[in-house]
Chain A
Amino acid sequence: MDFITFFQQLINGISLGSMYALIAIGYTMVYGVLRLINFAHADIMMVGAFAAFFAMDSIGFSLAFAVLFAIIISVLTGIATDRIAYKPLRQAPRISLLITAIGVSFFLENIVNVTFGGTPKSFQAPDFFEQIIKIGGTTLTPTVIIVPLITMLLLAVLLYILFKTKYGIAIRALAFDIKTVSLMGVDSNKIIMIVFIIGSALAAVSGIFWAISYPILTPYMGVMIGLKAFAAAVLGGIGSVSGAVLGGFILGFTEVVFVAILPEYGGYKDAIAFIFLILVLLFKPTGIMGINFEKSRF
């Protein structure tokens, strides 16, 4: 692989990794606070993508308004899943919560399937995204440049919220010890809601990125993306936001490079995330930047 090809793959990998990272953050934050693998999280991403599609295709919004619309719909869905499905089970065994999350995931997929019909939808991004930019010998699309930039911006905002604001302190405290912190007068349900708002908003942004990069939308698009993003979160160390981002980038980059180096095995690229995940868990059960949770059990 010459340098120019490598550079091109690097940029593609970073772009793909950003999309994984944005979803992985939602997984890692919910896991940090509730110790729940929120199986429905990737479907919230899918809801975001469909909301954007609906806003542009049926209402006729411009992309900017469609983004806003998608974020609002996703955040409302996120809050609703927490309130209806997860909140009543706060004291329940963790397995109940996990099964409910799987139920919510299927519910969202199928309700979108029923609402929009079974045929895949093609997302019409503005022409701006269709152009090709040539820098040196590399050919890039605007998407692969814009996606990482916006991701970095959102990440900076998120880190500011987490480490500089009152709510950020509360979120980190809840992740540390939810029982004690609740006893000390923190409204844990409100903070958990904020976690779901942040996660869902980031997922919506990621959903629009996916829609622009791979413009075929299906109600089940979240399944595989979500599994990989969760694998990325565990890879980086679940509970750690920077770990999720790192895991996302590693995964995105590995996938792109794998297909570039071994195109004849391209069909196996979807399995890489899990092979990676299993290897990491074998040697470092808490992931690369993992926080040492007490041994997980239901």
Chain B
Amino acid sequence: MERLSKAQILIFLVSVGFIFLSPYIFEDYGMRILNNICIFIILAASYNLINGVTGQFSLEPNGFVAIGAYITALALLDEDMKFELFQLEDPAPWVLALHLDLIPALLLSGFVATIVAVFLAAPVFRVRGDYLAIVTLGFGFIIKVIAINSPEITNGSIGLNEIPSVINIYWTGGIAILTVIFMLNIIYSKYGRAMKAVRDDEDAASAIGINTFKIKTYAFGTSAFFEGVGGGLLAILLTTISPDLFTFFLTFQLLIIIVLGGLGSMTGTIIGTVIVIGGSEWLRFLDAPLNIFGYETDAHPGLRMVVFSAILILVMLFAREGIMGKKELTDIFKRKAK
């Protein structure tokens, strides 16, 4: 790896310091949003690897997040709790036996998601472009259908609750920073360059000897690992999960984040996450009764989502490259230094 620039070290130290001090700065509500932002940085950064860096327009992260969330939840719930929770059918024997600490549970979540991704790669990457989008969308959907129809593992549509909340900002923030560093290392490695080559021109990449299928599978598997870990963290943060959480809407949120930030840019992903997750909290006022020039309107639950989708359309129409384009923050520093 190249030597770290001063800017990179500075950014790293500032983010670590911010995470460390945050509990002293924010109230409970602020900490919850910050936790949420950190988890979504993990999810969006890994989604960006396959979508932005490798250019494979896949729409299934909700499936991998669901896998991770369920595995972590099941690993952290104890046996008595599982018997109490499972109402539709008794839990499967292996579900009862599954009991892990936090770190092994998160790692297992990631590994299972990766294994699923590697198995999916063969059929998924036979097709390109639009077909890839629809096939991966189908997979995300199938995983949700399985979650609803396997009550002995997932407790069906009721879902799991009372997941012990064993994380704090040091976990989510720490894993988010590790994820970003890991992703940046991949992007600037030999594999990352190959991924970008696949994005820019798949046929040309193949012609200069890059095994495009292998590269896509690497990207897909790596992305799935962190989606799984992020899903596990999300389950712990929410303490309640059900199949409804892992619909296409989750993918859509991640898509807005990476498109708004700039497909392929890690800095953009982080900025996008802060804007989208922070903004969606801020926009909550839209769902309550509004006061427009002294005229009181009724409460319109869902107005927030109208504004959100309108923003996505506007970004695509007028700022197609997103906030950062494909650039990183450090690139901007470099240019100024010249």
Contact = CB atoms under 8 A, between A and B. Distances in A.
Question: Do A and B form a real pair?
Answer: yes
B135 A281 contact: yes
Nearest to B199: A298
A298 B57 contact: yes
A103 B303 CA distance: 14
A237 to B, nearest CB: 12
B302 A113 contact: yes
Interface-centre pick from B130, B148, B310, B320 (highest chain A CB count, 10 A) = B130
Contacts of A110: 302-303, 305-306, 308-309
A100 B315 CA distance: 9
B128 A295 contact: yes
Contacts of A106: 252, 305, 308-309, 312
B127 A285 contact: yes
Q: Is the contact region of chain A dominated by helix, strand, or loop, or is it mixed?
A: helix
B135 A89 contact: no
Residue in B123, B128, B133, B146 with the greatest tally of chain A CB atoms within 10 Å: B133
A273 to B, nearest CB: 8
B302 A298 contact: no
B202 to A, nearest CB: 7
B126 to A, nearest CB: 6
B123 A278 contact: yes
Contacts of A268: 145-146, 149
Q: Interface of chain B, helix or strand or loop or mixed? A: helix
Interface in A240-298: 265, 267-268, 270-271, 273-275, 277-278, 281-282, 285, 295-298
Interface stretch (B5-13, B75-83, B136-144, B184-192): B136-144
A37 B130 contact: yes
B123 A282 contact: yes
B316 A103 contact: yes
B312 A103 contact: yes
A157 interface: no
A274 B317 contact: no
Contacts of A275: 142
B129 to A, nearest CB: 4
A270 B138 CA distance: 10
Which 5 residue pairs are nearest across A and B when measured between Cβ atoms? A274-B138, A296-B129, A106-B309, A103-B312, A107-B309
Given A103-B316, A271-B146, A296-B129, 5 more contacts: A35-B130, A94-B130, A105-B309, A278-B123, A281-B127
25 contacts: A31-B130, A37-B133, A37-B134, A89-B317, A95-B263, A100-B312, A100-B313, A103-B310, A104-B309, A104-B313, A107-B313, A110-B303, A110-B306, A111-B306, A114-B301, A234-B131, A234-B134, A267-B145, A270-B141, A271-B142, A274-B139, A281-B135, A282-B123, A285-B126, A295-B128
Interface of B: 55, 57, 123, 126-131, 133-135, 137-139, 141-142, 145-146, 148-149, 202, 248, 252, 255, 259, 263, 300-303, 305-306, 308-310, 312-313, 316-317, 320
